[in-house]
Amino acid sequence: MSRLHSWLLLFVVWAVIGDLARAQEDPAPGFTEPYSTVSVATTETGLLMTLNVKEGDRVTTGQALAVLDDDLQLSHLAITQQQAEGQGKLNIAQAEHALQKRRNEKLAQLAQAGQAHPEEIERAKAELRVAEGRVLAEEEELKLLKAQVERARLMLKKRTVFAPLDGVVSEVIKRPGEFISPTTPQVVVIVQLDRLKATFLVQRTQREGLKLNQPVQVRMIDTEEMIPGTIEHISPITDAESGTTVVRVLIDNRDGRHRSGEKCQLEPSPGPVASERLRFPK
């Protein structure tokens, strides 16, 4: 091999080593985003009558966000409640049953004295069974009516849109008076900001040594603040074009100090030599 070829080979080796060293030393770039983003929708259709929130409002799980028109549901609930509270038919059936029961008791006493005809006794027993059946039918009817009341209450409740999680309203999609259809059921968008996700594109050499639930340090670009985080996700797929892997870090943001959309870096731990494998603090 000529001296020129040797120098060229050595130059290439140095260049590769330099690139690897720089890749190992450089922090992985990334950005913060809400831990979750939910487009709150309803399965019901109709006019949006009331909107209880606006953009920027903080909401809690189960909070009523909006109400659709519910006149029909209110009317149906009132009717079923009135029917379920009606005891007239049941009272009549119970009175008839009590009368037939007393009649059978008297006939039983007369039968012991030999003063009752067998056919009359059998007829009385049959009428008692019929009376018992009527009482049972009326009780089952009342149970059915009470079930219909619960169904009517559920139908009324479904006309209200509730917050599925604690968060902040980032967008209002529907305004009062607008129609909500099956194709556009979304009402508002809620983002969860008490926790943030920091998403990084990590090189292969940087990815080695990372593992789930590992504590790491995240540097916020604008403030130069170092904040702790925990690796929540390491993608099993490496992008073929860039050679990077997506790594997501969970950041506690209950104090609200950090905003979504900020640029950040996943910082390596300092090593004794530049060519050493990239390490992250444990």
Q: pLDDT by residue (tens digit) across 69-90?
A: 999 999 999 998 888 888 888 7
Vertex 10: Cα angle to 8 and 14 (nearest 5): 115
Asked whether the beta carbons of 187 and 66 are under 8 A apart, the reply is yes
User: What is the reported pLDDT for 118?
Assistant: 84
Q: Is the pLDDT of residue 278 over 60?
A: no
Given pLDDT bands bounded at 50, 70 and 90, which one contains residue 163?
A: very high
User: What is the reported pLDDT for 26?
Assistant: 65
Supply φ then ψ for residue 167, to 5 degrees. Answer: 175, -160
Pair of tokens at residue 130:
């019929």
User: What is the reported pLDDT for 24?
Assistant: 47
The answer, as to whether pTM is greater than 0.75, is no
Q: Is the pLDDT of residue 145 over 90?
A: no
Asked whether the beta carbons of 209 and 28 are under 8 A apart, the reply is no
Nearest residue to 167 (alpha-carbon basis) of 189, 185, 148: 189
Report the distance separating Cα 138 and Cα 117, nearest Å: 32
Q: Sign of the C-alpha dihedral, residues 71, 76, 81, 86?
A: positive
> Which sequence spans correspond to the domains of the chain?
71-157
Residues 6+ apart with CB under 8 A from 277: 24, 205, 208, 209, 271
Q: pLDDT by residue (tens digit) across 46-76?
A: 999 999 999 999 999 999 999 999 999 999 9
Supply φ then ψ for residue 270, to 5 degrees. Answer: -65, 140
CA–CA distance from 63 to each of 127, 163, 210 (Å)? Answer: 56, 5, 40
Strand order in the sheet with 64-68: 160-162, 64-68, 46-51, 179-180
